Structure 1
């Protein structure tokens, strides 16, 4: 009798350790058993949820995620609350996986939990993410470089701000332990940090200006990693760094056909941010390959054409009209590169209706770095930006037309409109 048949026959006797080991082994071997045996294993796991311990939890989630099994999402939703219940107190340090005993949480289990949940798009709740961020800060010296990279990437995927101390920890580890990072880990760490704009006091900008380009091994990067690194540097304004110049030079050695749509869009945005920073190239004499302007522009413009109008946007538009203005919806800036939710052409005012995606999920009033870059780009083009956060609008609109009109009127008066 083969191993799969034996496993199926004895499955009802398997304990959590057996079930987790079986799934983990399949993932390591990149092997998918016949007759959806992994589905049967998942059934058994769901019956024994309360018996899970940290290593079995994260190994199981990792295995089903790597294998892209259809039950991965459901398992993650079931096991995420269990992870929180099993976490040690914040004052307890984590150890490396090989040092952890008794099924305790290790740096590897924390990293795996963050990576798998973010890969599956299963938000485990703010409390769990905040507590995991504490462990990163307290035990960073025990985390491997890959584990730190996975962690900051996961926080970025969730748009969950891990706190300034955690961001400083990620930056410091990158500087002090750079030789331990693979090129992909370097790229994931920099793009993860750039989602938050780095730590306070321009920490990420300083990092990019301080490092020697050779540390990033740009020639070894694949096309997407190179796009990520270039965009990350540009997003914090480190245009005068040697690293930025080296990253753009590396693009001349690449075939444009190696870059996917997302990578092309990021490179075009980086080039655009440089132009906005120094239009006459007086302080930043960096030139991109011609294909970035050609192919990147095409990729970039696709997002300006995706102009789905929300109910929120329509409500604000009608309110602006009721104040006697003549607003336009989804207009482009003069160069045709940026789309505005609503604008008053005669007053050069751009009104942006910012929904949840424009804020960090755990900081209600914390505009994302990408949103700040949008506002900065509009301002450079001569537009006064009025932001209407969704949570403020819900209150004002819910209070009635008079309240909504007063709210918008004050917003417009604040920019002289």
Structure 2
């Protein structure tokens, strides 16, 4: 904005005269000589926005309007130093409302040269730095009269900066909002509910949290005998502000919740207010089951949810899942509402992500909802609006809920693979994505390679939590995806941080390493003390997986597999599934291999052996083809021969009086070029127990 000023000093305006202006052009012409019209200009802009296209009269002489609007702003800055606190607050609030109105253009851009478009360019668009400059100047000019502000004008003044989303710094050092907080605290007893709401909302909106102010304001509200003077919107905005600013005040949350619960009727609450309140309690981790129950009953009783915007539904569902409040009827009602929509194009990626995450987290099944969203995403031509966390949450939700949708997984995987840069993917997103594909049994080798290369290229992995490291290793092993550099890098980190892993993490890492043929002796020796310490916390599957993994690795740690391990197996004897019992049987065979005296109780040994032997054979097509070829050359192979130690041989033939064992190891027996842990263990134990 040009600093050149050509107009005369402003005079005191006549509001009634301003109201007689019918068009922006008339208002701007009058404002050119009288600057006290920011609020009037804001109102007229709002009215014109509601009325559709501007009249033909407002579209003439756009160049002149442009110059006059520019001059109005320049003159405001020149003379604002002479304004009293009321004029400063009124001017700032008017400007704030204008910025708010012209800042968000939905649909078509206003006609070129229209006041809306001119103001957008002056304050928000191509010259958006003007907005910051103007509000910085107003902030500086207010300092000398700031102590004289009364509560209402101070609240309006702060609200103006919230509307404009400006957070100035005085001389580049001290935050202006801290200066305002000092003044506000001294006047808190004079603030009404709307003043408090506007002020606190503004602090949260611009990200200018001030703990002293929020604590004092919260104490002031809690000290009130009742909240009958608080409008519902004020309640909503205040609690939203505390959650958004991450300012804790448990007594305030309790007072607001108790006040809402005590209401006989919640019909006065707008959907957005309900959404903001529930979101705030969940975000702040403030538990109040009766509040959630109250709103649940209210929402379920509604005949129609059409008043709830897409964001409202997303926030509410997310809040219930995050707060751990389970209400199947509520989840079904919102799901049915979403499924009934003809078009989901209005949902933002974040909202889709939050809804799906919430249903999976709350363990609320609604297959039609999952299918509707999946079909919607698949139909999209462009997925650039989906952030890494959005994709991570979506994939995690489908895998967690057991809602298989191969086309969705393929679409998202292809999108990720084509990205030039994955630096925006945080460790949790990478971990969840890989885990989702492995859990859902969705194969996409290029995705696994791309994400593995990304991890390997990182200088250090300190940002990865133990569970994320464990899940990644587990996922690659489960999916049968080989990437030795990735395993080496992750296992090196795991060894250094072995004391940070819980029982599930430890079991996953050891099982995955053994399964993927990465049975490194250093890894298993290093983890032995950790295994010993967490053994009592292990569930039956963890115990079986750990024992089987050490058997595959053939790393003997006598101090680990002693009476404590046997006791753990005996204690969980009734919890073991067939697969776990088979694993323990192989562990017991390993003890015999290494000449150990450690044995499971006879009854458990017998149970394990029966489970191992009873596992039905599942010959592959390759195996069938090999058997056919053996018959064709005159041999008569015995199929699925049971050995004395319980293993089944694919085939046994007699050649020149000698019996030869034939194992047909197809692709499923290898990870990359290495045999899987199961294959290695079978070969070793069949040979050692001939």
Superposed CA offset, 1:319-378 (max 9, x none): 445656553222222x15121112235424211111221111xx2x43222212221122
Shift of 1:255: 4.0
Match of 1:56 among 390, 409, 414: 390
Instruction: Compare 254-263 and 115-124 and name the one that shifted more.
Output: 254-263
Shift of 1:219: 0.4
| C-alpha spacing 1:148/1:310, structure 2 compared with 1 (3 Å) | closer
| TM alignment of 1:42-121, pairs within 5 A | 42-48=374-380, 50-51=382-383, 52-70=386-404, 72-86=405-419, 88=421, 94=423, 104-121=424-441
| TM alignment of 1:321-332, pairs within 5 A | 325-332=635-642
Q: Work out the CA distance in 2 between the residues paired with 1:372 and 1:223.
A: 24
Match of 2:542 among 225, 230, 252: 225
Q: Paired residue for 1:313?
A: 623
* C-alpha contact (below 8 Å) 1:212/1:242 kept by paired residues: no
Shift of 1:247: 5.8
| C-alpha spacing 1:83/1:250, structure 2 compared with 1 (3 Å) | farther
* C-alpha contact (below 8 Å) 2:495/2:527 kept by paired residues: no
Secondary structure, counterpart of 1:12 in structure 2: coil
* C-alpha contact (below 8 Å) 2:547/2:587 kept by paired residues: yes
Q: Work out the CA distance in 2 between the residues paired with 1:61 and 1:299.
A: 35
| C-alpha spacing 1:342/1:54, structure 2 compared with 1 (3 Å) | same
Q: Work out the CA distance in 1 between the residues paired with 2:360 and 2:620.
A: 42
Match of 1:193 among 489, 513, 532: 513
Superposed CA offset, 1:285-320 (max 9, x none): 2121223311111110112xx345555334434544
Instruction: Compare 236-245 and 184-193 and name the one that shifted more.
Output: 236-245
Q: Work out the CA distance in 2 between the residues paired with 1:311 and 1:218.
A: 41
Shift of 1:192: 0.9
Q: Paired residue for 2:229?
A: none
Shift of 1:87: 5.8
| C-alpha spacing 1:294/1:53, structure 2 compared with 1 (3 Å) | same
Q: Work out the CA distance in 1 between the residues paired with 2:636 and 2:357.
A: 61
* C-alpha contact (below 8 Å) 2:540/2:572 kept by paired residues: no
* C-alpha contact (below 8 Å) 2:582/2:609 kept by paired residues: yes
Gapped runs of 5+ residues in structure 2?
Answer: 1-303, 306-312, 314-333
Q: Work out the CA distance in 1 between the residues paired with 2:532 and 2:591.
A: 22
Q: Paired residue for 1:338?
A: 647
Q: Paired residue for 1:145?
A: 466
Match of 2:586 among 242, 255, 269: 269
* C-alpha contact (below 8 Å) 1:54/1:109 kept by paired residues: yes
Instruction: Compare 232-241 and 243-252 and name the one that shifted more.
Output: 243-252
Match of 1:235 among 552, 555, 559: 552
| C-alpha spacing 1:302/1:252, structure 2 compared with 1 (3 Å) | closer
* C-alpha contact (below 8 Å) 1:268/1:300 kept by paired residues: yes
| C-alpha spacing 1:178/1:205, structure 2 compared with 1 (3 Å) | closer
TM-score, length-normalised on structure 1? 0.76
* C-alpha contact (below 8 Å) 2:469/2:494 kept by paired residues: no
Secondary structure, counterpart of 2:663 in structure 1: strand
Shift of 1:157: 0.7
Q: Work out the CA distance in 1 between the residues paired with 2:337 and 2:365.
A: 16
Q: Paired residue for 1:376?
A: 684
Secondary structure, counterpart of 1:13 in structure 2: coil
Q: CA RMSD in A?
A: 2.7
Match of 2:477 among 124, 145, 156: 156
* C-alpha contact (below 8 Å) 1:80/1:124 kept by paired residues: yes
| C-alpha spacing 1:238/1:68, structure 2 compared with 1 (3 Å) | same
Aligned residues: 351
* C-alpha contact (below 8 Å) 2:640/2:648 kept by paired residues: yes
* Greater length-normalized contact order (CA 8 Å, ≥ 6 residues apart): 1
| C-alpha spacing 1:44/1:243, structure 2 compared with 1 (3 Å) | same
* C-alpha contact (below 8 Å) 1:227/1:263 kept by paired residues: yes
Q: Which has more radius of gyration?
A: 2
Gapped runs of 5+ residues in structure 1?
Answer: 95-103, 383-417
Match of 1:354 among 665, 668, 678: 665
* C-alpha contact (below 8 Å) 1:62/1:112 kept by paired residues: yes
Q: Paired residue for 2:344?
A: 11
